[in-house]
Amino acid sequence: MDTNKLTALGAIRLFEGLPAPQLNSLAEIAQLRGCKAGETLFESGQPGTHFFAVVTGKVRVFRASLSGKEQILSVFTAGESFAEVPVFEGKTYPASAQALEDSQLLTIPRRGFVELLRREPELALGVMALLSSRLRLFVGQIAQLSLKEVPERLAGYLLLLRAAQGRDELTLDLPKGQIASYLGTIPETLSRAIKKLTDQGLIEVAGSRVRVLDAEGLAALAEADR
């Protein structure tokens, strides 16, 4: 039995609390693999035979248009799993995935996992909770794209980061171009939005470090309409 694989599996949040025998049977079907920054894991429209979990590194999931514009849907880091959708539908991946850094990944095949779910209701409930939380995020993303302008979306993003990092000195977790793609815009427009927030005295920016000067003001802006 591969203890590397077992410890990797144990560090995935979705598998937390899974009893040892089930973790072992997961280890029998899961594969551990490395991949390099920039490597494509799968593309939108390909048949989805496996889902993934990040052991180390960072992966982005996105949709691209023919002209090369891209919309990032999520970015996943250590402990998170992704691409579960085709597991339960038996169809294609709805989006593409690419490693942003050199990463270690677990790949888990559809078939065996569904079998395990049949026997493990608590794991199944965990999966439902995970899918639900992702739906909640997407609902928010749709609302932001349709209802808010770029500076407001940026304000919301910074507030989320602040909540995650627990202080006013933020370190951007992605290059700005990728943040633009996540916010549904392009680097030029993001630059101008950053400038706008800076001019309003809400933030200070130096490279990938951001200081939140006025969290209240950011929140007001993020909620604002017009």
Nearest-approach distance from CB 158 to DNA, in angstroms: 14
3-class SS at 126? helix
> Pick from 9, 41, 190, 202: which binds DNA (CB under 7 A)?
190
Q: Which is nearer to DNA, 89 or 101 (CB)?
A: 101
Site mask, DNA, residues 121-140, x = CB under 7 A?
A: --------------------
> Pick from 166, 167, 207, 226: which binds its own copies (CB under 8 A)?
226
φ/ψ bin of 184: left (φ > 0), alpha (ψ from -120 to 50), beta (otherwise): left
- Residue 59 dihedral angles phi and psi, to the nearest 5°: -130, 140
Binding partner of residue 177 among DNA, its own copies, none, CB cut-off 5 to 8 Å per kind: DNA
Query: What's the rounded Cα separation, in Å, for the pair 183 and 3?
Result: 40
For β-strands 40-42 and 70-77, DSSP reports them as unpaired
Assess 40 for contact with DNA (CB under 7 A): no
Residue given tokens 């209701």 in the structure block:
121
Q: Which is nearer to DNA, 103 or 178 (CB)?
A: 178
Query: What's the rounded Cα separation, in Å, for the pair 1 and 103?
Result: 22
Query: Using CB under 8 A, which residues numbered 107 to 166 contact its own copies?
Result: 114, 117-119, 121-122, 124-125, 127-129, 131-136, 138-143, 145-148
DSSP 41-109: EE-TTSB--EEEEEEESEEEEEEE-TTS-EEEEEEEETT-EE--HHHHH-SB-SSEEEESSSEEEEEEE
- Per CB under 7 A, residues contacting DNA are 67, 69, 149-151, 175-178, 184-195, 205, 207-208, 226
Binding site for its own copies (CB under 8 A): 63, 65-67, 69, 71, 73, 84-89, 91, 94-95, 114, 117-119, 121-122, 124-125, 127-129, 131-136, 138-143, 145-148, 184, 223-226
